[in-house]
Structure 1
C-alpha cells in the first residue's frame, strides 16, 4: 500500500475502535461524552496507567470479565499460554515505570501481533531464508511468566505442540551454566532475548563454553547499544537486530538494515509529545509518547501515555520502507558484577522481585561489589522487605554469589538529571 493508503486504513480502524469503545466500555463512554461529532485524534483525551488501573472493570469492553478474575488466573502459573475463558490471553507488563498492568488480548489481537512479528521481523530476506533452511529452531532468553515474550511462546506451544522441538524459552533467572548447557544441546538458528542477557551469553561464547551459530539474533525489551550489537555480531556471527514492542501495543516497530525502527502504522499510532501532551516536531526528543493500538478491542489503548522518549522521523529511509521511523531512548538498567566474577542481568533480578506480594516498586543499588541496598515501596515495608531479601539471597546463592543486602532508608529514586527510573543500579 502507499503511505496515504496505510494512513487512510489506520484512520478507518481508529474510528471503528473509538465507536466500539464508546458503546462497550463504560470508562470510554464517560470519557468521550463531550466529543464533537467530527473529531480528530487530538480531540481524544489522553489516558494513563494509574487511571485505567483504577477503573479496570469499567475499561474492558467485555462486561463479563473482571480484574478479580484475571488476578486469580495469572496467580496460577499453570495457566501460562492458556486462554482465560477460552477467549483471552492474559499478560502482565514488565512494570518498567514501577507499576505493572494486566493486559488482555483476544485471538484476533494475538494473531495480528504474531503476524507483524513474523512478516516484518527480519531486516534482510536472506536471514529469513537461512532461518528456514537451517531448521527454524528458535531459542529465547526472557523472564518466564505472563509477559508478552515468554507468554506468547507458551501460547504457540499449546496451540502447536509439535513445535516443542523448534521453540524454547530459557528463564533469565536460570544460572548461566545451565543456560549454556541447554543452548549447546538445542543449537538455535535464531537467538532472542534482552540485550543485557545476550551480552552475557556472548562472553560465554567468546570463552569457548558456548558453541552456537545462530543465523540471526533478535533483541528486545531493552535498548540495544551499538557496542553491544557489535559484541553480539563478533561472538555469534549472525545478523543482529532489534524491535520496539510493549505489552500494551504488541510489535510496534520493526528494524530495517539502516537500524531505523519503522512504525507498523496501519495497526499502531504513536504520537511524540511533550509533558503537556503537545506534539513535538520531527527530529526532537519527546518527553513521552501517546500510543493507540488499533488491534485491541477488548481492552482499548487509545492515546495511552507511555514514558518512552523518542525522536520521530518522516523523511525517506534508504531501505525502501516508506513507513515513518523513530529512535528510542530505551531502558538502561545495569548489569551487576560481583567479586566472584559472576555477572547478573538486570531483568533476571526484576523477574525475582516481581513475585513478591505487596511489592509496588523496588530499586536495587549496588553499593560495593557484594553489598546491595534494596529500596522498596510497599504497604507493609518490613514484611515485604523480609520476603524480598530472602528471595534475592536464594537467587544469588543459586548463581554462586554471596551478598549482603541492606534495607534502603530512601524510597526508589528517579535519576535527578534524566528523570528516568532504573530498577537495578550497578557500580560505575
Structure 2
C-alpha cells in the first residue's frame, strides 16, 4: 500500500463525489482488497484469522468479525509494525508529557474510555491522518454555510476555537488538539482546550475570557453551556458550534442553536473510525463510504435491511494500516437509508443512536443545582486503578449509586474505596458536597428499557435528558 499524500487525497476526494456511485464502490472494493491483503501479510493476528479466507474478497461478509476485546488481547500481533509493542506504548501513555507527541515519531496514539468495559489503545499512521483531515476539510466544512456577517465575526474574533472535552489523558480529541498546538505554535493564541471536568463556574469564566467564535464539544457539555448562556452568566457569541462524542438529540440541537444564535453541526465517528461521517446542509449524517464500510447488524452480526435500526454496527477503516480495523464491532445502533438525500450527495445517509448517557443534576447546599456531565464523571471513574467496569446511576437528587467490577476480585474492596473517594472528591469540587456515593450489590448491567449498556444515567422520574 502506498503512502497517501495530501495532493493525492484532495484530488481523489473531489473526484469521488463527482464520478458517481460506481466509482465510489470501485474505490471501496480496491481499498478493501488492499487493507485485507496488507493485514493478512503484516499482522500476525490477521494472518491467523484469515488463514482460510480467499485471497480475493468478493464481498466483505467473507471476512470474520473482530472485537475490541480480542484485538486488545492480541495487541502485539494485531499491529503491522513489529517495532510497536504494547509494553512500550503503555509506557508512552503513562508519561503525561507524551500527549500530543507521535509514538516512534510516526504514529498518533490515543485511548478510548471503558464505556463498554474494555478500553482500547489505538494507533493511527500518517497516511490515515491525511485521509481524515482531507475528508473533514472537503466534505464537512462546505456544509457550514455562513453569511457575510458571520464570516466577518470569525475574522473579528480572530478565529478563536474552544474545544470542551475531557482533558488530561490520551483521548483522541485531547491528543489531536495538543499535537496541533505543538506542531503549529501560532495556533496557541487562537485555539484552546477547556476541560469538561472543570466546575461549571470555572468553565464559564474561562470561556468568557477567551471569547471563542467557534465551539466544539460533547452535546451534554454544549447543552449545559447553552443553559448558562440563557441564564446570562456565559457571554460568548460563537458563530459555529460543533457537537461530537455523544448522540445529539433534536431537542439539544434546538436549545444550543437558540441559546447561541448560530448553526449547530453534528458528527458521528469513533477513535477507531475517525472521519467516518459528515453532516450535509440538511443536517443529515452521511458515511464517507469511499474510505469506510458500515454494516448495520443484529445481535448475531447478521445484516439488517436498509432503514431498520440495528442492534450493532460493524465498521471497517480502509485508511489505517498500522492497526487494521476490519469488521470491528461498535456498540452503537444505526440505520443506513437506501433513499438518496435531497441535498444531492451520493454518500449514504445514516441515523445513529450512539452514546446516550444522561447529565446528572444534584442539589447544591445553597439550594441550587449542580449539573454533572456524563463523560466527565465516567472518565473520573474509569481512571481508578484496578477497575474493570462501572455504571453510575442517580436515583435521588442527593445519591449516586455505583455498580462496579474489579479486574482482580480479590482487590475489589480496595478498588471500591479508591473509586468512591475519587467520585466524592470530584462531585465536591463541582459543588455537590452533600451527595452520597453508595455501592450496589448488582454488577454493571444492560439498561432495562433500551436493552443496551448505559454507563451514566438518571432514574429520577422528572429527569430531562
Measure, in 2, the Cα distance between the counterparts of 1:237 and 1:275: 41
2:453 corresponding residue in structure 1: 421
1:364 deviation in Å?
1.2
Moved more, 270-279 or 286-295: 270-279
Deviation at 1:366, TM superposition (A): 1.4
CA deviations over 1:302-333 (Å, ceiling 9, x no partner) = 11111111110131111121100110112111
- Aligned twin of 1:392: 423
Output the CA distance in 2 between the equivalents of 1:255 and 1:237. Answer: 19
Alignment of 1:275-294 (within 5 A): 275-294=299-318
Whole-angstrom distance in 2 between the partners of 1:287 and 1:294: 23
Q: Deviation at 1:376?
A: 0.8
1:270 Cα offset (Å):
0.5
Deviation of 1:155 (Å): 1.0
- 1:39 Cα shift? 2.2
2:375 to 347, 356, 359: 347
TM-aligned CA deviation for residue 115 of structure 1: 2.5
Task: Please tell me the root mean square deviation across aligned C-alpha atoms, in Å.
Answer: 1.5
3-state SS of paired residue (2:275): strand
Corresponding residue for residue 220 of structure 1: 244
Asked if 1:367 corresponds to 2:395, the answer is yes
- 1:354-381 per-residue CA deviation (whole Å, 9 max, x = no partner) reads 2211111111111211111111110221
Conserved 8 A contact 2:340-2:349: no
SS in 1 for 2:138: helix
Contact 1:224 1:242 in 2 (8 A): yes
How many angstroms does 1:283 deviate by? 0.8
Query: Shift of the alpha carbon at 1:257?
Result: 2.3
Quote the Cα distance in structure 2 between the aligned partners of 1:125 and 1:62: 42
Question: How much does 1:3 deviate?
Answer: 2.0
Change (3 A) 1:28 1:129: farther
Secondary structure of the equivalent of 1:201? helix
Could you say which residue in structure 2 is the equivalent of 1:133?
Answer: 155
**Which residue does 2:296 correspond to in 1?**
272
**Does residue 1:18 correspond to 2:36, yes or no?**
yes
Q: Secondary structure at the match of 2:135?
A: helix
TM-score after normalising by structure 1: 0.97
Q: How much does 1:394 deviate? A: 1.3
- Paired with 2:23 and 2:151, the residues of 1 have a C-alpha distance of 29
| Cα deviation, residue 130, structure 1 | 5.8
Residue 409 of structure 1 aligns to a residue in which SS?
coil
Q: Which runs of 4+ in 1 moved over 3 A?
A: 127-134
For 1:425 and 1:36, the matched residues in 2 are separated by 45
Q: Which stretch of the first structure deviates more once superposed, 254-263 or 287-296?
A: 254-263
Residue 100 of structure 1, CA deviation: 1.0
Deviation digits for residues 59-113 of structure 1 (CA, Å, limit 9, x no counterpart): 1001111111111111112211111111111101123312110000112222222
d(CA) in 2 for partners of 1:210, 1:120:
31
Query: How far does the alpha carbon of each residue in 1:202-243 deviate from its partner, in whole angstroms, 9 at most, with x for none?
Result: 111111111111111100111111111110011101101111
2:432 aligned with 1:410, yes or no? no
Partner residue in 1 for 2:3 = none
Q: What pairs with 1:177-326 in structure 2 (closer than 5 Å)?
A: 177-326=201-350
Between the aligned partners of 2:346 and 2:278, the Cα distance in structure 1 is: 13
Indicate whether 1:61 and 2:80 are aligned. yes
- Residues 276-305 of structure 1: CA distance to partner in whole angstroms, max 9, x if unpaired? 222111111111111000111000001111
> If the length of structure 2 is used for normalisation, what is the TM-score?
0.89
User: C-alpha displacement at 1:124, in angstroms?
Assistant: 2.7
Deviates more, 1:107-116 or 1:236-245: 107-116
Q: How many residue pairs end up in the alignment?
A: 428
Query: CA–CA distance in 2 between the matches of 1:287 and 1:69?
Result: 36
TM-superposed CA distance for 1:166, in Å, is: 1.4
Alignment of 1:75-86 (within 5 A): 75-86=94-105
Distance 1:62 1:183 in 2: 42
Are the aligned partners of 2:285 and 2:349 in contact in 1 as well (CA < 8 Å)?
yes
CA contact under 8 A between 2:307 and 2:338: conserved in structure 1? no
In structure 1, the gaps of 5 or more residues are none
Further displaced range: 109-118 or 339-348:
109-118
Q: Distance in 2 between matches of 1:14 and 1:213?
A: 44
